[in-house]
Structure 1
Amino acid sequence: MQVKKGVMESINYDRFSSSDTENLHHNPKLVPLKGRQNRVAYVLYGLLILLLLILVMVTGIKFSQLSQGIEEIKIYLTAASSHSSPFPAKSPQHGEVDLGPQFVEVQGDCHSDWLYFEKHCYYLSTEKTNWHSAEQRCIEQQGHLFVPNSMMEMEYMSMVAVEKHMYWIGLVEYGHEGNWTLVDGTDFKSTPKFWDHGQPDDWHVRVNGEDCGQLHPDIQIGLRRWNDADCTLNYYYICEANV
C-alpha cells in the first residue's frame, strides 16, 4: 500500500516530538556548583584566619605574663644573693619574727639576735618600755632608736616588724611644738616623711602631750606609718646601729 508523502512526514514528526519530550522530563538541566563551592571555601578560609588571630593574641598575652614572672624571679634572686647567708628554717617562737629567706640574721659586727640590712644592724625588742628607756637601752648597745632615712629602709622595717606591735623609733619633739628631731642627728627637714593620715596631731587629751614617734601597727599599701604618742607609754622598740 502506498502512503502519501505528507502523511509520513506527519508520523515522523509526531514520533520524534514525543521522544524529545520524554528526554526533557527524564534529564533535567544540571545547575553549576562551582560558585557555591567557592563561597564555602571563602567562609572556611575566613574562619581559619580568625582562629589564627585569636591564637596569636592568646599567645602574646601568655608570653607577656611569662616575661613578667621571669623578671620578678630575677629581682627576687638578686635581692637574695646580695646577702651572705639566709635564715635557718625554723618555726618562730614567742616574740620572734619569721623573716623569710631574704634577710640575714647576723653579719659583720651585729650583735646576737640583731638583723643586718644595708650596712646597718637592727634589733626588734620583745619587751615594752617607755621612749626614753628604749633610747637608753639602744645606746647601751652602741646604737640608737631606729631612724628611717629612706623609703627602702622603711619598706624593710615594715616587712620584718611584728604586724600588731607598735614600736618606738628615733623621732622626738624637743622644745616648741613641731620641732621634730631625729636622734642620729640627721636633718629632719631633708628626710622623707612617713606620717600616718592626720598625724602628728599632738593629742591634747594626754597630760604629757604626744612628743615621741612610733610606728603604727596598721600597714597601708605595704608600708608602716609614723604616729606621735605619749613618751611615757610602754611600747616595743627598734634599735639601730652601724656595722
Structure 2
Amino acid sequence: MDQDYVNVDEILGHHRRLKREQKSSQDTSVNHEMIQIVQPETTRPELPDAEAVKSSCRAAAILLGLLSFFLLIGLIILGCLFTQGKSQWEMETVTLQKLYNNVTRGRNQLQANYNSAVKERDELQAKLQDCANWVFFKGSLYYVSSNKTSWQNSRQDCLQRGADLMIINSQEEQNFANQFKKYLWIGMTDSETEGSWKWVDGTPVTTRYWNSGEPNGGINENCGQIKNYNSQNSWNDENCSNLHFWICEKRASP
C-alpha cells in the first residue's frame, strides 16, 4: 500500500513537471514569435544593389533632361512673343507718330486758314465801315471827311482809300458837292503853272463854277475848294496849306 502511495506521488510529480515544461515551451515559442515580429522593425534596411542605383540615376537624368528641354522651349516661345510684341509696339508707335504728324499738319493748316479768315474778316469790316461813310452818286462813290487838313494831305488820304479828290465835270456833280454845306477841298490846282488849272488826273478844267471874282489869289492860292456852297458857282482858290474838309471820289466799279 505504501508502494501505491509512492507511485501516485511520482505520477503526480511527473505530471506537474510535464506541465511546467509545456508552459515553458509555450512561453519560449511566444517569445520567439515576438522576437521575429520585432526583428524586422528594429533591423537596418538593406542597401540597394548597384544596378538599382544606376537605374535610378538614369531615370533622374532623363527627367532632368526633359525638364531642361521644356524650359528651353518655354524660353524660346517667350522670346518669340516678346519680339513679336516689340515689333507690333514699334509699328503702333510709328502709326501713332504718323497720325500725330497728320493731325499737327491739319491743325497748322486750320490755324493758317483761321488767321487768313480773320484777316479777310477784318479787311471786310474795315471796307464795310469805310463804305458806310461813302455816298453813291451817278456811278461813283464819294467820301466827305469829318476833320480838316491841308490840300496835299487831303489828297493823300483819298489815295489811301483808293480814290482821289473830287473832279467836277457837270452841273449835277456841282450841285451834289454843294449839298454837304462844307468848305471842301476838291481836286483842282494851278501849282504847276499859275493860272492853268488842272484836275488831279491831269486833265484841264473846262467846266467852271468859280464864284464871282474868283480865282484871285495869284501864286499864293493854288488849290481849289467849294466855299460858297449856297451859290451855284461856289469855287474858290485857296492857300493849299490852309485846313479844310475834303471830298474823295472813286468809281463804284473798276
Calculate the TM-score normalised by the size of structure 1.
0.48
Higher percent of residues as helix? 2
Largest Rg, 1 or 2? 2
Q: TM-score with structure 2 length normalisation?
A: 0.46
Q: Which has the higher strand share?
A: 1
